[in-house]
Structure 1
Amino acid sequence: MTTTRPAVASDAELDHWRTVAERVAATLGEDALERDRRGDDPTVELDLLRESGLVDLLHPAEFGGGGGHWQSALLAVRILSRTDASVAQVLAYHYINSSNIGFAAPEADRADWYRRTTADHWLWGDSVNPVDPDLLLTPADGGFRLNGRKRFSTGASSGDVVLAAARIEGGDRDGETVFVVLDHDRAGIHYLGDWDALGQRLSASGSVDFVDVAVDPADILGSLGDGPFQNLITPGIQLAFGNIYLGIAEGALEQGLEIARARKNSWFLSGADLYRNDPFVQRVVGEFSSGIAAVEALADRAARRFDETVSLGDAVTAEQRGHIEIEIAKLKVVSTDLGVEVANRIFEITGSSSAKASVGLDLFWRNVRTHTLHDPVDYKKLEVGAWELNGELQPLSLYT
């Protein structure tokens, strides 16, 4: 039996996880650029997430977790994105992946999944990418064999377990699509290490091959159903994206301000003694700071409303699920625009010397430009417009 808890996070809870995340972000920021250039899988960095408690933040306290809310988890993702958006992405996907215990697992199985997850502080990677052909599960030896390839498997190569979506072919469950949870070193799983994007280089998002992987019935977490509650997973991950983009914008502005404040001269036509006193520099900073404040407010509101919706459990209606999807689509639109704009134009207040590779100011743009291509933001604009004009909601999917 689970204990009753408030539907939304308290100020004390948010303050606690803010402090934890800021401490972790400061550590990650010490060598983020150097690690990005190496492009290694983030194994050491994930140990930092485990030790801090961030990995277990969302899991129920009665099963050894942090007992936190989505608003706290997404605030942590945002804060980490200020210094290392790659690791923040892995953490965000872990929250989404492991939350399928609550969204997809049969109620009788959830306690066991939570206890196993928290006992060893599992980091959940994924191999779910819906635009790839389905992985196939075929009945064999009282269980199944899993075969296929998935690209963009974030966190899979460096996490403790891999959440994979696969379609059963044959047997009593023919045609059913299920989530399976497999330990990282399961025989037949091959991590290809082919992630070579210009940004999010440490997100461990390479392809995974599954070759005759033995899957026990106990490895099946649950089915991918069409109920509104189970399909809250999509607005959840889009909400995480919005916080990643917002955090990148915050981090870019923070580093830009440090550079601008440290400059000892000014543009010769400005009439100002220092760059920080140039009215054009101040104008850009004012524009960015105001935009960030507005998107922060929307992100916090959306996260709080998401917690309220999740707290309804199976009582969530299609209309309620649709409303939170629209709220989060709005965040996706403005956070994308803000993140790309700030990371691109921050150089306007820092000058040509800030374009040196050693400064690393490009890291923010490379990260946000890469991840904002995950799914077309124009379709999120259409979702919002169709709702506002005609009251139309999009069909349930892993993207809408």
Structure 2
Amino acid sequence: MSIDTISTSTGSVTGQPVPEGRTHWSGTADDAELAHWDAVATEVAAKLAVDVLERDRANLDPTTELDLLRESGLVNLLDPAEFGGGGGHWESAFRVVRILSRVDASIGQLLAYHYINAGNIGFTADPATQAEWHRKTVQGRWIWGDSVNPTDPDLSLTQDGDAFRLNGLKRFSTGASAGDVILVNAVVRGGDHDGTIFQFVLDHDRAGITYLGDWDALGQRLSASGSVRFEDVLVEQTDILGTVGDEPFSSLVTPGIQLAFGNLYLGIAEGALAQGTELVRARKNAWFLSHAETYRDDPFVQRVVGEFVSSIAAVEALADRTNARFDRIIERGADVTAEDRGAIAIEIAKLKVVSTELGIEVANRIFEVTGSSSAKASVGLDLFWRNVRTHSLHDPVDYKKLEVGANHLNGELQPISLYT
């Protein structure tokens, strides 16, 4: 099926500015759309699987992998069809992240961040400029990295005539070194806009940007998440998307990335189980104390696998429900209330809790049924655990448990931030 034949209910813009208060996203994904993007993602995942271990060990920026995402059309899934994009929905995008993460969670992470970063065209940009941003993104097949990590001191912008100069250092800048453009948040120091946080987009090779190449983590090694230094980088008015605040609709970007994480961890669990299942089925004989003839027939092995299959099915159901609910909130645009935003954030936090624990448990305990030979470096079963253990430290899952508990007991919501 080609992209042109997909039947969707998207209400994307038609080359004209999006009316104030509306968003180009509307409706939800139908079965044909979901099936199409699932198939595209499955094909890409199969290609990534061929040399995933070699690429992980090489620990290089994933330029070839990103070309694969461009060529498949996945990078433009969420862009309006009127500009040549896929015209798809967030549910489709989150499922794609999950499918890729079954094989290569680094690339799943990169694509997840790209979707959220480029999604700021709809969340943050002036409606009058959105069409042009979409055109440039689709025509250039841009992959959007970012440099917005809130745990570092804010980058600073200083006035320079009608433009600004950007200075500072940001760690954990996922996709910045490998992508085409970088989404940046920075606070203005002095002048008429003192204290305002602008969100803007810089091309990869803008003068004054240095990629430090210092990402050296246990897992997610190809996520291009190193530090970036900005030294007197020129930021033009035309680079600016908008301002960052706590308005309910635009701040849905944070629950959005948390929902992507939930799908990523679920994908890792599914991938670990899939490879583990192959290894168990290939094992000969059984443990000498077992009454079974093969490991696959051993009741202890079946019990562990049964736990995993059942838990994955439950988390998958929650993820699918939450992915679809996110689209229904998104289509409301400026009509989204603080209560709406809080309700979907709690649903996503629930998924974050159970998917984190599922991913870590399956990736860890799968070795119990695959045996000592599966610990060989050449097997690569450790990749799933290294990836989920690394990325699940992005923000403490215990605080997500507190969010859910405080809401259930007292109706409380956490303050809006880049983590909640």
TM-score of Structure 1 vs Structure 2, range by shorter chain? over 0.9
The partner residue of 1:291 within 300, 306, 311 is 311
Q: Do residues 211 (structure 1) and 269 (structure 2) align?
A: no
Unaligned residue ranges in structure 2 (runs of 5+): 1-11, 15-23
Task: Report the RMSD for the aligned CA atoms in angstroms.
Answer: 0.9
The partner residue of 2:398 within 374, 378, 398 is 378
Unaligned residue ranges in structure 1 (runs of 5+): none
Task: Provide the residue aligned with 2:48 in structure 1.
Answer: 28
Residue type of the alignment partner of 2:308: F
* Separation in 2, partners of 1:113, 1:87: 24
Give, in angstroms, the shift of residue 215 of structure 1.
0.9
Match of 1:397, SS state, is coil
* Separation in 1, partners of 2:359, 2:99: 14
* Separation in 2, partners of 1:6, 1:161: 26
Task: Provide the residue aligned with 1:357 in structure 2.
Answer: 377
Q: Do residues 182 (structure 1) and 202 (structure 2) align?
A: yes
The partner residue of 1:2 within 13, 18, 23 is 13
The partner residue of 1:230 within 215, 240, 250 is 250
Kindly report which structure 2 residues correspond to 1:20-169, keeping only aligned pairs within 5 A, or say none: 20-169=40-189
Residue type of the alignment partner of 1:300: D
* Separation in 2, partners of 1:91, 1:6: 22
* Separation in 2, partners of 1:176, 1:170: 10
Match of 1:99, SS state, is helix
Contact 2:25 2:331 in 1 (8 A): no
* Separation in 1, partners of 2:193, 2:61: 36
Give, in angstroms, the shift of residue 6 of structure 1.
5.0
Match of 2:230, SS state, is strand
Q: Do residues 307 (structure 1) and 300 (structure 2) align?
A: no
Match of 1:256, SS state, is helix
* Separation in 1, partners of 2:210, 2:26: 42
* Separation in 2, partners of 1:242, 1:226: 23
TM-score, normalising length: structure 1: 0.99
1:126-149 Cα distance to aligned partner (Å, 9 max, x none): 000011101111111421110000
Contact 2:25 2:330 in 1 (8 A): no
Contact 2:185 2:198 in 1 (8 A): yes
The partner residue of 1:249 within 269, 293, 304 is 269
Give, in angstroms, the shift of residue 5 of structure 1.
7.0
Residue type of the alignment partner of 2:202: L
Q: Do residues 16 (structure 1) and 36 (structure 2) align?
A: yes
Task: Provide the residue aligned with 2:293 in structure 1.
Answer: 273
Give, in angstroms, the shift of residue 36 of structure 1.
0.3
Identity of aligned residues (%): 72
TM-score, normalising length: structure 2: 0.94
Residue type of the alignment partner of 1:104: T
* Separation in 1, partners of 2:278, 2:336: 46
Give, in angstroms, the shift of residue 271 of structure 1.
1.2
Residue type of the alignment partner of 1:27: K
Q: Do residues 334 (structure 1) and 354 (structure 2) align?
A: yes
Give, in angstroms, the shift of residue 120 of structure 1.
0.8
Residue type of the alignment partner of 1:98: A
Residue type of the alignment partner of 1:231: S
1:40-62 Cα distance to aligned partner (Å, 9 max, x none): 00000000000000000011111
1:214-268 Cα distance to aligned partner (Å, 9 max, x none): 1111101110022100100111000000000000000000000000001112101
Residue type of the alignment partner of 2:389: R
The partner residue of 1:321 within 319, 338, 341 is 341
Match of 2:304, SS state, is helix
* Separation in 2, partners of 1:256, 1:174: 55
Contact 2:25 2:89 in 1 (8 A): no
